[in-house]
Every structure is written in structure tokens, then in C-alpha cells.
Amino acid sequence: MTLFLLVLLAALIFEYINGFHDTANAIATVVSTKVLSPRQAVAWAAFWNLIGALMGTAVATTIGRGLVDTTFVNLTTVLSALLAAIVWGLFTWWLGLPSSSSHALVGGLCGAALGASDGNWSALKWHVIDAQGNHSGLWPKIVLPMFSSPLLGFVIGALLMYLLIMALHRATPRFVGLVFGKAQLLSAGFMGYSHGSNDAQKTMGIITLALFTGTQAGIFANLPTGLGFLYTPEFVVPRWVMITCALTMAAGTAAGGWRIIRTMGHKMVKLQPIHGFAAETTAAVIIHAASTVGVPLSTTHVISTSIMGVGASKRLSAVKWGVVERIIWAWVLTLPVTGLLGFLIELAIK
């Protein structure tokens, strides 16, 4: 039981870090365009993160049982995955790099599962097709979206910005600023909602995995019957897990992530409200679609490339490509580094 409580604590720490690490995803553009003050933007994002986190469990199910074989997973494995993701999250936050908390958790889980299975690669679900023809596993749910979603963010962001410019080419700058200053409140709220609906579910999935494996191991056998709602004999996300994760992510979001906000909102591209609206709307639509089908998308990747696409629609030189290069390196390294960390931590503590 003590080990489960450690896993639960680590999961909530990860969720809190995810909240302040990824706050920039939802509010960097609305802060940089001065539509909202930093405090107002954080409160706005925290509220919509909370609402989004309570909507659905498709992503949680993917994280909990769709990527690794649960027969190789125990509480030590889950703890190792979380510790790997926490270390990477704090390191990239310290550097001010908007890396993916999602991929950090996935990498840590895969590495820890390999460690728990003594290097048995069958512990990882690469590509599974069920009787109904549904695809799951690392390739369709993680690897393919890792490349396709940033590309979609860049292309759709640039296209939407181009269409807005064409539609409003006769409007005065003052009119455009006033209209999209208001519209960006909606797009920032939608972005916060989408972020919560995807990112908060990842920790829900990892806690439910811990509950499931702990139940199989019998660690809850001595609890009073009336406390049966706290754990699950089947892989179903309990309501208390949803509420706890939602509140923790909202609290982390409210704490702010100012290092990353500066990178996302000021260092990559100079934005006006219309650009912020285009980037946030693009990213929110892509993330919401992914949440609906259970894809644990990197919200960081999508909003970053949406901002790049919007900036590039003005001119390619509007994007500060040196900053972009640093961000891409963080993206490339996240999965292998956290995978190695998860593997080594699992070997050290199992």
C-alpha cells in the first residue's frame, strides 16, 4: 500500500508539473498579444483546463493499457515511468524549452516496461488491430501523430492566417485588433479546454494503471468493502481519479510557467491578436479531435508549430529559427531520453 501511495504522489506531482510546464501552450499567445495580463490569462487557462479534464477518458485508456502489455507492469514500473517524466519535465522547464510532457510520460512508461520485462520488446504494443478494425499501439497513437500533428499545425495555421488576411485585407488595423482581441478570448479558452481534455487524461490513465495492477496484486484486499470505489478490478477510470487530476492540473496551470511562456509567446514570432487567434484555434481543433479518438497528442508540438505556421504566413524570416531549432531538439530527445531514464530507474528500484 505504501508503494501505491508513492505512485499516487508521483502522479500528482507529474500532473502539477504538466500544468505549469504546459501553461504556455494555452496562454503564451494571448499574453504576448496583450489581450490578457499574465494573471488573467493563467486564471482563464486554469478554468478551461479544469473543465476539459473532466470530459472523457479515451486518452486515459490509451495511456493505461494501449501502449504496453500490462502483464509486465507493476507499481514499481509505474513509479519509474513517472519519475523519468518528472525529471525531464523539470529539466526542460529550467531551460525554458516547451518539450512534450506527453511524450515524456510515454517514453518513461515504455522504458520502465522494458526494464520490468528484462528487455523483452514484446512488452511494448507496437501496432494492434482489434476485431472491430480499431488501431491501437505506439505506431498509430504516438509515433505517427508525433510527426503528423506538428505538420498539420504548421500547414493549417499558415492556411488559416492566409485566409483571414484575404478576408480582412480591406479592414483597418484598428478594427482587426478590436475584433480579434475579443475573439482571442474564445480561442484561448478553447485551447485551454482542449489541453485539459488531452493532457490531464494521461495522468488519469497512469493512476488507473496503478490501481489496476495494484488490484491484481492484492494490495487493496484488506481495505474495508465500503472503500471499493477507490480502486478498480477492471480498467475503468474512477470518478475520483478524474476529479483529482483535473484539480491538480488546474492548480499547476494557475502557478504559471513563465520561462516557457517567454519562449513561446515572445521569442519565436512577434504576434498580434489575429495571429494569436489563428494559432490557438488551429491547435485547439487538432488537439480536440485527437482527444476524441484517444490519441495522447503532444499539445506542445501542435501549438508551437501552429505559431510557426502563422508567423511564416507573413514571411519565413518572421520566425526566429534559432529558437525553433532548440525546441525541435527537445522534441527529438524527449522519447529516447525518458525511455532510457525509465529503464534505468526500473532496474535500480525493482
Neighbour-count burial of 131, counting CB atoms closer than 10 A to its CB (0-12 exposed, 13-18 middle, 19+ buried): exposed
Q: Point out which residues pair with 68 in neighbouring strands.
A: 124
Is the Cβ–Cβ distance between 31 and 261 less than 8 Å? Answer: yes
How many domains would you assign to the chain?
1
Whole-prediction pTM value? 0.86
What mean pLDDT do residues 136-165 have? 91
Report the 3 state secondary structure along the chain. Answer: CHHHHHHHHHHHHHHHHHHHHCHHHHHHHHHHCCCCCHHHHHHHHHHHHHHHHCCCCHHHHHHHHCCECHHHCCHHHHHHHHHHHHHHHHHHHHHCCCCCHHHHHHHHHHHHHHHHCCCCHHHECCCEECCCCCEECHHHHHHHHHHHHHHHHHHHHHHHHHHHHHHCCCCCHHHHHHHHHHHHHHHHHHHHHHHHHHHHHHHHHHHHHHHHHHHHHCCCCCCCHHHHHHCCCCCCCCHHHHHHHHHHHHHHHHHCCHHHHHHHHHHCCCCCHHHHHHHHHHHHHHHHHHHHCCCCCCHHHHHHHHHHHHHHHHCHHHCCHHHHHHHHHHHHHHHHHHHHHHHHHHHHHC
- pLDDT of 40 higher than 90: no
pLDDT digits (tens, 9 = 90+) for 312-342: 887 776 666 665 676 677 778 899 999 999 9
- pLDDT of 25 higher than 70: no
The rounded percent of the chain whose pLDDT value lies above 70 is 89
What is the model's pLDDT at position 110? 96
Q: Which three cell numbers stand for residue 132?
A: 472491430
- pLDDT of 128 higher than 90: no
Q: Which of 57-61, 117-121, 198-202, 313-317 has the lowest mean pLDDT?
A: 313-317
* Domain residue limits at 256: 2-349
pLDDT digits (tens, 9 = 90+) for 205-248: 999 999 988 888 888 877 776 666 676 687 788 889 999 998 89
| Residues ≥6 apart with Cβ < 8 Å to 98 | 22, 24, 25, 92, 260, 263, 264, 300, 304, 327, 330
What is the model's pLDDT at position 233? 82
Cα distance between residue 8 and residue 83, in whole Å: 12
Cα distance between residue 66 and residue 126, in whole Å: 9
The more confidently predicted of residues 46 and 69 is 69
- pLDDT of 187 higher than 80: yes
Q: Which three cell numbers stand for residue 261?
A: 511562456
At residue 114 the predicted structure's pLDDT band, cuts being 50, 70 and 90, is: very high
Cα distance between residue 41 and residue 22, in whole Å: 13
What is the model's pLDDT at position 299? 82
- pLDDT of 275 higher than 80: yes
- pLDDT of 287 higher than 90: yes
The region that residue 256 occupies, defined by phi over 0 for left and psi between -120 and 50 for alpha, beta otherwise, is left
Q: 128 phi and psi, to 5 degrees? A: -125, 135
- pLDDT of 344 higher than 80: yes
Length of the chain: 350
What is the model's pLDDT at position 341? 97
What mean pLDDT do residues 93-100 have? 75
pLDDT digits (tens, 9 = 90+) for 254-264: 776 556 565 55
The rounded percent of the chain whose pLDDT value lies above 90 is 37
Cα distance between residue 165 and residue 140, in whole Å: 35
Q: Point out which residues pair with 342 in neighbouring strands.
A: none
- pLDDT of 285 higher than 90: yes
